[in-house]
A and B are shown apart, each in its own frame.
Chain A
């Protein structure tokens, strides 16, 4: 039922798009009909170029996200053990997390060259902070009762971190990952638009430069769907790794 409602929303959106386009309120040159964009999409899907670009973007995104996950979690675990380190890190996090990816491109090229390291730096910088912030907050706000119980059982500080605080923080960590995945996609596309020689962002910029509006809309649709797929993958991972939380959350629902 929930899926049918969502599908209905999507269908309604495309119908509205088609209607606005057909009404002639906006020139078809700048706002092509949904059917025109769909035709452009089908044409694109049949080309090897598109799939090569898609694969390039996907590899960049998932590699960057994996590194951001490892670093973000690592930092959060470190700050969970060293409060002073967290206090020192906080102002830097506040500065770094608001830097827009396009602004970092020239600096990243200067420091890291035009290769994969430049892309990874931009993607990791966009994705690491939501993971770190969510994880660090969750790790520092474990129920005191849980910690006291752990101590009563003779757990060491390290055991409390790994056996109590970390599992309790996982639901929030997954929220961070979900937000980070969206940011990583934005950063990947932005970096490819400015400094890519391949990838979906590069194709999108080229379509704009060449005034190929239907292709632009088709590519934006692809990027949007890709974003949805990534979100679904993070939800799936959450279900796999912390199914216990879903069960508990369902039990906590009022009857």
Chain B
């Protein structure tokens, strides 16, 4: 063997040895990310989702999350059931109604709660100053707008009317999308509206409306129950059942994103501008309305909402929350 050939053989052996030693390291880095599609309804809560994507929290958990905005609750359900998206985000109402209609869905994360003392994200009923209404009882015979029927807002209206001894038949219910409520109220088309942040903020800042808050919270006796889950992440029952490991990683990333936004309100306000195209001056006035609690879903947090849905006739029979809500702890 010549000296040249000997050198070449030595180099080959050394290179192979180094490659063999470093392989596990490179192998770990090059592991493919798990693709995950999340269909979501546009709402403030989803800032947490966007931030988790942008900050790379999902990638740290080995997930490649693609977000798909859908502006219709039933369409989010369809996207999840058809497999176009593995995860859906919406209010807790559509998955419960879908489940009751034989659509196998499972809620595995709570995006946000309404709490007592009142949190910033409360579903709120307000009346314009020009309407002269100052109490829920004052709504009798008046016009009130909800964003959809059935919806969380319809339950809110029914719950608070019932507490005041009235029913939905005592008011004129209008259906107006959230973004158009401000104009409807300012122009006197409706006396009151049921709304959420950031539309609530916009109306409170509007001198032409000068709203009076009539009631807060989807559940009228929130003071008694303390908190209720109102928005959620869910998947098809079969997907949730067979993907606990993926869901745990999803929850870890989301929890990290939520904590980061709560710790840095400036980032939250920047994201409102970036993802919801809010004007900076307005975004700065929108309260920090994301959850501070664990995302782990518990049936007990949903039961009062599902009972309210049943009471309002939106669920034909009482739905036990543990049928729809799966607790997965990361």
The answer, yes or no, to whether A107 is at the interface (CB within 8 Å) is: yes
The answer, yes or no, to whether B319 is at the interface (CB within 8 Å) is: no
The answer, yes or no, to whether A147 is at the interface (CB within 8 Å) is: no
Inter-chain contact A194/B72, CB cutoff 8 Å: yes
Please give me the residue from chain A that is nearest to B282 by CB atom: A211
User: CB-defined interface of A190-211 with B at 8 Å, one 1/0 digit per residue?
Assistant: 0001111100001001111111
Which single member of B68, B78, B183 contacts A110 (CB below 8 Å)?
B78
Given the contacts A109-B79, A193-B71, A194-B72, A209 and B42 also touching, CB distance less than 8 Å = yes
Neighbouring A residues of B156 by C-beta, 8 Å: none
Q: Which of A12-20, A111-119, A136-144 contacts B (4 or more CB under 8 A)?
A: A111-119
Chain B interface residue count, CB cutoff 8 Å, equals 34
The answer, yes or no, to whether A173 is at the interface (CB within 8 Å) is: no
Inter-chain contact B68/A194, CB cutoff 8 Å: no
The answer, yes or no, to whether B182 is at the interface (CB within 8 Å) is: yes
Bound form: Cα–Cα A29–B202 in Å: 11
Neighbouring A residues of B199 by C-beta, 8 Å: 211
The answer, yes or no, to whether B69 is at the interface (CB within 8 Å) is: yes
Given the contacts A27-B186, A210-B276, A109 and B179 also touching, CB distance less than 8 Å = no
Which single member of B69, B74, B84, B178 contacts A113 (CB below 8 Å)?
B84
Neighbouring A residues of B277 by C-beta, 8 Å: 206-207, 209-210, 212
The answer, yes or no, to whether A106 is at the interface (CB within 8 Å) is: yes
Q: Return A110 CB to nearest CB of chain B, in Å.
A: 4
Chain A interface mostly: helix
Give the bracket for the number of chain A residues in contact with chain B: 20 to 34
Inter-chain contact A106/B69, CB cutoff 8 Å: no
Neighbouring B residues of A109 by C-beta, 8 Å: 70, 75, 78-79, 82, 84
Given the contacts A109-B82, A110-B81, A195-B70, A209 and B186 also touching, CB distance less than 8 Å = no
Which single member of A27, A102, A114, A209 contacts B79 (CB below 8 Å)?
A114
Bound form: Cα–Cα A155–B261 in Å: 78
The answer, yes or no, to whether A69 is at the interface (CB within 8 Å) is: no
The answer, yes or no, to whether B144 is at the interface (CB within 8 Å) is: no
The answer, yes or no, to whether B238 is at the interface (CB within 8 Å) is: no
Neighbouring B residues of A241 by C-beta, 8 Å: none
The answer, yes or no, to whether B293 is at the interface (CB within 8 Å) is: no
Bound form: Cα–Cα A197–B84 in Å: 13
Inter-chain contact B75/A211, CB cutoff 8 Å: no
Neighbouring B residues of A186 by C-beta, 8 Å: none
Inter-chain contact B72/A210, CB cutoff 8 Å: no
Neighbouring A residues of B83 by C-beta, 8 Å: 113
Neighbouring B residues of A208 by C-beta, 8 Å: 177, 179-180
Q: Return A135 CB to nearest CB of chain B, in Å.
A: 33
Number of A-B contacts (CB under 8 A): 86
Neighbouring B residues of A197 by C-beta, 8 Å: 68-69
Q: Return A199 CB to nearest CB of chain B, in Å.
A: 12
Given the contacts A194-B70, A209-B276, A211-B179, A110 and B187 also touching, CB distance less than 8 Å = no
- Residues of B47-102 at the interface with A, using a CB-CB cut-off of 8 Å, are 68-72, 74-75, 77-79, 81-85
Most buried by B among A26, A102, A107, A113: A113
The answer, yes or no, to whether A105 is at the interface (CB within 8 Å) is: yes
Neighbouring A residues of B187 by C-beta, 8 Å: 26-27, 30
- Residues of A183-242 at the interface with B, using a CB-CB cut-off of 8 Å, are 193-197, 202, 205-212
Given the contacts A113-B82, A114-B84, A211-B202, A106 and B74 also touching, CB distance less than 8 Å = yes
Q: Return B179 CB to nearest CB of chain A, in Å.
A: 4
The answer, yes or no, to whether B278 is at the interface (CB within 8 Å) is: yes
Neighbouring B residues of A202 by C-beta, 8 Å: 69
Other A-B pairs, 20, CB within 8 Å; known A29-B206, A193-B71, A205-B42: A27-B186, A27-B187, A30-B186, A106-B77, A106-B78, A107-B78, A109-B79, A110-B81, A113-B82, A113-B84, A194-B71, A194-B75, A195-B70, A195-B72, A196-B69, A197-B69, A209-B179, A209-B276, A209-B277, A210-B278
The 7 closest A-B pairs by CB, nearest first: A210-B277, A110-B78, A114-B84, A109-B78, A113-B84, A30-B183, A106-B74
A-B contact pairs, 23 of them (CB 8 A): A27-B208, A29-B208, A30-B182, A30-B183, A102-B72, A106-B72, A109-B70, A109-B79, A109-B82, A109-B84, A110-B78, A113-B82, A113-B84, A114-B70, A114-B84, A114-B85, A115-B84, A194-B70, A197-B69, A206-B42, A207-B277, A209-B276, A211-B278
